[in-house]
Amino acid sequence: MLIIAVISTFLDQFTKVLVRRAISTGGTIRVIEGWFHLIYAKNSGMAFGMLPGWNHVLTFVSTFAIVFIFMYYRQLKPTRWMKISLGMVMGGVLGNLVDRVVYGYVTDFIQVRWWFIHYRWWPSFNIADVCICAGAAMLIMGIFGRSRSMDLSEQSKATSSSAPEDPRLFQSGN
């Protein structure tokens, strides 16, 4: 889990350094005109620009989330899937937390236009956000997959542990 968290944090911070050096605040590099741009946006809030100016509260929430992930991890016998997903979430939270502490805002730089929202621009985001969302999705799939497999194993145990049927029921009538 920690290796994935460190890799996620490093990739996030590395890409943000590149963006801060290459693009002026509010500037844009058009990678695929009208569909995929790199921008430099300062976000003092959270996802989708909600709660702007709440950096101190969000710093506390991020710190709490990291502590919670550690505590949750210690309570589990995590699978490899869970280790990867928790590592991605932790790395993403840590990547954005570093920005909040060092700069007072989070650097967002990925901007895409989606056809399913009537060709509107999706709010800008960063690698940390991708890690948090992907890790959370993996975590949910892992939890539901694990509970489903536990249900199936309990069901098969119940079936196999039931009393065997009387073999005389299946004998031909003589």
Q: Indicate which residues carry an active-site annotation.
A: 108, 129
| Dist CA 146 CA 142 (whole Å) | 6
Residues in the chain: 174
Angle at 144 (CA atoms; ends 143, 150), nearest 5 degrees: 90
CB 13 within 8 Å of CB 131: no
Nearest to 89 by CA among 142, 141, 135, 137: 135
40 sits in which H/E element: strand 36-43
Q: Which tokens sit at 124?
A: 């800008």
50 sits in which H/E element: none
Q: Which tokens sit at 137?
A: 């999705």
CB 105 within 8 Å of CB 56: no
